[in-house]
Amino acid sequence: MAQVIAYRAMKKRGIRATNKAAAMDAQQTATKIGELLLDLFERMGVRGFAVMSRGHPDDAALPHAVDSDRVMSSFFVQQYKLSSLDVLRTFESHSCAMDDGGKEKNDIATMRKQVIDWQRDAFRKVCKDKSANISYEHYDHKIRELRGCEIVGWPEQVTWRRPSMMDVQDIRTILNGLKNGAIFWRRMKTADHTEFVEQQVEARRLSGAPARRRRVRSDKGVARKGKGRGREGEGEEGHRGEQRR
């Protein structure tokens, strides 16, 4: 039943394909509302207006204001000494700040933090390791070779580096890509991972770089207690005791 409800809701609202499609949808909807208000005024003499705005500063939809017979401009100018444009700008600012519960935040520090959190959470989910961290300096070795994970959709014009080192344009590009799903983490296919590892090993051999070895344990050579040995010994003693009886 839940799937049927979700399907009907999706069919009614439609799917947001791209930012351009969303902007066109908002514009066409505003135009339809304006036509309905005008028809209502011509039929019944009822006046009205509607104001629409994007809900996030990164959305592409432009704000719209429609009315029946220019009632909006005359109402706000006469009653509040505000032009329609001032009302539209104020409403847009309020709409963009509603989800954050305060002043609109779109500075570079906030965007960098969003990219860091988004990248880290997605990477850990793919790795299935809640403590995994992204190594930007050793991406090929520590991420692709050792963990078998890779990032897809990274723009060619943006250098792969820490978000703290990106400028405003680059960090905005990456943030938008993460939000719309163009940039994402995934597990490498077994064949692709095997081929990549072989290429890395061969590249190190040709360059003369020493093979990477596993770090030696600090307690190497020290006997470690196995789990359950005492219990097994007790079982043997009990078994021998039963035989003697």
Which of residues 43, 73, 98 is at a domain's end?
Answer: 98
Q: Does an H or E element contain 7, and which?
A: helix 2-13
Does 83 share its domain with 21? yes
pTM score: 0.46
The alpha-helical segments, DSSP class H, found in 58-208 are: 71-80, 84-98, 108-127, 168-180, 190-207
In a domain, 230, yes or no: no
Number of separate domains in the chain: 2
Which of residues 67, 98, 129 is at a domain's end?
Answer: 98
In a domain, 39, yes or no: yes
Does 12 share its domain with 83? yes
Does 128 share its domain with 167? yes
Domain range for 27: 2-98
In a domain, 15, yes or no: yes
Percent of the chain as helix, strand, coil, to the nearest 5:
55, 5, 35
In a domain, 32, yes or no: yes
Tokens of 205: 């051999």
**pLDDT tens, N- to C-terminus, the chain (245 residues):** 666 565 565 555 555 556 677 788 888 999 999 999 999 999 999 999 999 988 877 677 788 889 988 888 888 888 888 888 888 888 888 887 776 544 445 678 888 999 999 999 999 999 999 999 999 999 999 999 999 999 999 999 999 999 999 988 899 899 999 988 999 999 999 999 999 999 999 988 888 766 555 566 676 667 766 544 444 444 444 444 444 44
In a domain, 224, yes or no: no
In a domain, 159, yes or no: yes
Beta carbons of 63 and 96 less than 8 angstroms apart: no
Give residue 123's pLDDT: 94
Give residue 3's pLDDT: 60
What spatial distance separates the first Cα and last Cα of the chain, rounded to whole Å? 67
